[in-house]
Structure 1
């Protein structure tokens, strides 16, 4: 029997999820909801959804649904997810899982009381190159982690398309999650800088130190011309080696073991497909997620909030604990 998945949000992110679901032979699109009725109807017609409308909760109540993917604006993630959890329906929530750490904490609490689960949409945890990097670091292949540097630049259309969400929450949240994953330690202190200050079309640099002593440097910029942004990069330095990674180009390991993987020659990576397939598998098995959890997303939002506080107040922000 096919798994019935519903989608909240028929915008850009929702469209990507629909393309993925339409390729899965064992998944049926139970319904699509969007505040824009025409967008919901159009998406339903293109992808053969069983139901469509403007109210996802009404859809969940009138039609059997095994799981819900939430790809609506960030401010709506928490209320929709709570309603689904109350109905025992697992949710895949696009990033950011919530707009504040406090909201994320309420979701963690609600999940604990529900028979369902939350899978945060931190898609890079399902990327083959990133999983290999995590395996190298986790196995001690480069020794104790000393520093992690990440770059994630986007074109300046993002400043117009997402005027109500800070680049830290929209783009850098990926690298905050990656750093937490790779370093395996919470952050002690954060300093954030932005130039030009108080603008979306700007570069933001966040430096942090985790409780194992590793230094993080995370950068994002929404300043490039369309299709002119350089590829994402990740560099990790350990006591006995390092890793240098550029999306779609190469992955290099240095130290006792030296290797280079030409990613252009590898099979194309499709982390979103892997993420949705993992979501479907966890629904069928009844097992909660392990690759990334609501608690992981909450930990990342604590760091993102500290970075936003640093931008607002100036200076270093120390995290409790």
Structure 2
């Protein structure tokens, strides 16, 4: 069955969001029958014709009209602004008539303007999460999620999170194997879970030198090892004293604390993505002791691993 995707754009939209169409394009290739593609994507705008993105690149669009869609999706913008009455009226009508409604990045503000997110959980780009909550208090904003599905209304974080969102849509329609094959073809990590943090521990630590970066990369790839300061200092080709001093100056943390952050991030991903027992997750990420991992989770997230697993299962059920 072919599913028709209506992708709504507007002047000044962020053109990176159009990478979402690649997920559906590749899904058509895996169906194996060009005469009956899995998806048909139509770019829509209020007046049709060429619509210029924030980068200055124009794209051709079809004007709003009497269209039937399986999924209606709104793109985002670097500088979100109020939508026109015509845009909101079409979005409201199309959302009611469609099986799914979705937004990418700040497109969540468009859904909020249209009243589609009232009483729902939603996310958006991390830098606008609090603004979305302030403007629309009826929404339960979870600003550190990759994407959220609440009753058939999907919202995603910013920029490349649109890939995770669309992989999840394809997975819901055609199963995990097709989603996994598309991710592999796009050379991306197989769909991050919706509950995964928008932040990366390595990016947050922001090491300045190649030596400290190499030590952190080594640690991330060898979490099952003890990862002593001496071992990391050897990787960085520094003495223990030089390494500890440089590490704290560059990252603002001790090596032990940074390794714990990397372990917690990896453990959370395992808990959200799979069905591994807690003790196995602890062993695979270098905590060894589940109680030690529990304490680390409380420091990092304010909740134990079991609560993270329950939240992930609730998202999956939704």
Same-fold call, TM cutoff 0.5: no
Higher strand fraction (1 or 2): 1
Larger Rg: 2
Which protein has greater RCO, CA pairs closer than 8 Å, 6+ apart? 1
Q: What TM-score, normalized by structure 1, do the two folds share?
A: 0.33
Q: What TM-score, normalized by structure 2, do the two folds share?
A: 0.33
